[in-house]
Amino acid sequence: MKFTLKTATSHFFLTRFSLLRTPTVTTIPLPLLNYPLPTRTTTTTISTPSFPIYCACAPMSIATQHILQVRDKIELSDIERRIFDRLLATLRHFNLQTQLRVAGGWVRDKLLGKDCYDIDIALDNMMGTEFVDKVREYLLSIGEDAQGVCVIESNPDQSKHLETARMNLFDMWIDFVNLRSEEYTENSRIPSKQSFGTPEEDAYRRDLTINSLFYNINTGSVEDFTKRGISDLKSGRIVTPLPPKATFLDDPLRVLRAIRFGARFEFTLDEDLKVAAACGDVKDALAAKISRERIGTEVDLMISGNQPVKAMTYICDLTLFWTVFNLPPEFEPTISDGCERLCIAYLDTAWNLVHLLKESTFTDEERRLSLFAALFLPLKNTTYQVKKAKVVPVVNYIIRDSLKRKSKDAEMVLDLHRASQKFLSLIPCLASNEGLQSDDIDWMRRLINDVSAASRVRVLTGLNKVWEVKPLISGKDVMNVLQLKGGGPLVKEWLEKSMAWQLANPSGTSEECIDWLREANSKRVKLE
């Protein structure tokens, strides 16, 4: 017997199945579910699961609320201490009057008591490449190897505006760059002018106050040049160092970074920041100045993060949904008002299910693709035409063109959408304890018809690794029990049912499976 179901397909079906749980009903204007989106708005009742809510678009429960404790000082790990000791020894060896500061996310995470392995060091009076050469020379003088020394050229599309020197110390990669001030042109996020800057100038040019903190390696102290980085970290606020509109117009990618960090830490977005992010000028700048690859990378980080629903809800609330998930110029049918809210509702349900089944059930890639599939499910019947009048799902355009993700990502999401329609026929069987008539059910119903109602969910959760499961019994075993002289459709049918029993009873033996087969066949014969 050969099963070709893919892991993510079964996970996605489970997402749909979770809608059957006792619902909390909310009525909002939304397009019809599972059918071509109408050109008018229809009032639809959306049912959301009543099991504990883990998503961030709803008020956080006590179990899921994260209270972040901010430390008064940074505690270095042994490796971090050894790294910084080597850098300070380099300064002493060459009598350099350079201040070494760790910048950005490492400082934020260490103050929150989190591990961070991304160390970026800012230098106040020399280029990163110059200092790395000095470090390498010093290490060689004391008989140590300088590993992995390299220079990363500037690449604005990858948020690298300056040349960065990198080296590996004690199995950790360290980036070195100079402190800088920047000026931007009107139609680009690439700085038109860069120069050595003061620590204060460098802090104010950063995206958020919580990312503007420095750890001065020379003095062993945290420096807060915006005078509010630590207080915003303690109060859980997402704020820009400079006025938000000017900050976003200089680099519109900062809008998505603000959303991502706000969702990740469950922080509150500043009201002025929200007004600026939702204004037309910033949305136009985001569409015009930022490459779709960078937008796709930020969205990927959000979907793969710890609060994807909160992140997508922020995007929706700030009216950025269709700027981020850009559509082709022409498509049909017309997308109804409120469709983006339906997208969030499906994502919410899928995210709840991920937690209900425990995240260990999914690989990171399975989870990511399942969430993308849920997010775009309301658009599954919307299409657009390409050359030669070929009709293509609009979801393909969003993933491949708007987000610049891999073609195989789009293919998998579309496969999940197609499979979801087939799995819908299984829902009545799972929702009811009643038996089904054999002439009214399809192959999936037949697959589980002889499995007890209590075991049906276990059958489905077992589908995620179904192609790796070795059947307990063979076609020959089925023929012996049924007293058949040859194979055929009946043998195939009972092999499928045996696999359903096996998935529902993962610790069962071949003997127990044969006993079940014999008993189930006996009941079938009596009914006939």
Least confident of 245-259, 298-312, 407-421: 407-421
Q: Please report the pLDDT score of residue 25 as a whole number.
A: 33
| CB proximity list for 381: less than 8 A, separation 6 or greater | 35, 36, 37, 333
- Here the CATH number for the domain that contains residue 155 is 3.30.460.10
Dist. CA 146–CA 211, nearest whole Å:
29
Task: Note whether 139 and 197 are same-domain residues.
Answer: yes
Q: Please report the pLDDT score of residue 387 as a whole number.
A: 78
Task: Note whether 82 and 228 are same-domain residues.
Answer: yes
Task: Note whether 495 and 517 are same-domain residues.
Answer: yes
Model's pTM, two decimal places? 0.69
Residue 424 has pLDDT above 70, yes or no: no
Q: Please report the pLDDT score of residue 326 as a whole number.
A: 95
Taking each helix axis from N to C end, the angle separating 489-504 and 510-527, rounded to the nearest 10 degrees, works out to 120
Residue 430 has pLDDT above 60, yes or no: no
In a domain, 410, yes or no: no
Q: Where residue 18 falls among pLDDT bands split at 50, 70, 90? A: very low
Least confident of 262-276, 317-331, 434-448: 434-448
Task: Note whether 158 and 289 are same-domain residues.
Answer: no
Domain ends where: 285, 307, 324?
324
In a domain, 154, yes or no: yes
Beta-carbon neighbour count of residue 505 at 10 Å?
19
Q: Where residue 33 falls among pLDDT bands split at 50, 70, 90? A: very low
Dist. CA 480–CA 493, nearest whole Å:
15
Task: Note whether 133 and 256 are same-domain residues.
Answer: no
Task: Note whether 511 and 482 are same-domain residues.
Answer: yes
Task: Note whether 116 and 237 are same-domain residues.
Answer: yes
Q: What is the pLDDT of residues 463-511, one digit of tens each?
A: 555 556 688 999 889 988 888 877 788 888 888 888 878 877 778 899 9
Residue 368 has pLDDT above 90, yes or no: yes
Q: Specify whether the CB–CB gap between 71 and 43 falls below 8 A.
A: no
For 443, counting Cβ atoms within 10 Å of its Cβ (0-12 exposed, 13-18 middle, 19+ buried), the class is exposed
Q: How many domains, in total, are found in the chain?
A: 3
Q: What is the pLDDT of residues 192-203, one digit of tens each?
A: 445 678 999 999
Task: Note whether 148 and 197 are same-domain residues.
Answer: yes
Residue 259 has pLDDT above 60, yes or no: yes
Boundaries of domain holding 268: 243-324
Residue 438 has pLDDT above 60, yes or no: no
- Here the CATH number for the domain that contains residue 307 is 1.10.110.30
In a domain, 378, yes or no: no
Alpha carbon distances (Å) from 260 to 176, 343, 527: 25, 18, 59
Domain ends where: 194, 221, 241?
241
Residue 44 has pLDDT above 50, yes or no: no
Measured at the CA of 40, the angle between CA 326 and CA 427, to 5 degrees, comes to 85
Dist. CA 21–CA 51, nearest whole Å:
8
Dist. CA 52–CA 38, nearest whole Å:
33
In a domain, 231, yes or no: yes
In a domain, 425, yes or no: no
Least confident of 124-133, 366-375, 387-396: 387-396
Task: Note whether 203 and 141 are same-domain residues.
Answer: yes
User: What is the torsional sign of CA 449, 451, 455, 461?
Assistant: negative
Domain ends where: 191, 224, 241?
241
**Amino acid letter, 271:** E
Q: Specify whether the CB–CB gap between 350 and 370 falls below 8 A.
A: yes
In a domain, 121, yes or no: yes
Q: Please report the pLDDT score of residue 457 as a whole number.
A: 46
In a domain, 88, yes or no: yes
Task: Note whether 228 and 279 are same-domain residues.
Answer: no
Q: Where residue 58 falls among pLDDT bands split at 50, 70, 90? A: very low
Q: Please report the pLDDT score of residue 22 as a whole number.
A: 33
Q: Please report the pLDDT score of residue 432 as a whole number.
A: 57
Task: State the chain's mean pLDDT as an integer.
Answer: 79
Residues 34, 38, 44, 50: what is their CA dihedral angle, to the nearest 10 degrees?
30
Task: Note whether 207 and 249 are same-domain residues.
Answer: no
Residue 316 has pLDDT above 90, yes or no: yes
Residue 262 has pLDDT above 50, yes or no: yes
| CB proximity list for 114: less than 8 A, separation 6 or greater | none
In a domain, 44, yes or no: no
Dist. CA 84–CA 90, nearest whole Å:
10
| CB proximity list for 309: less than 8 A, separation 6 or greater | 55, 56, 57, 344, 347, 348, 351
Task: Note whether 115 and 166 are same-domain residues.
Answer: yes
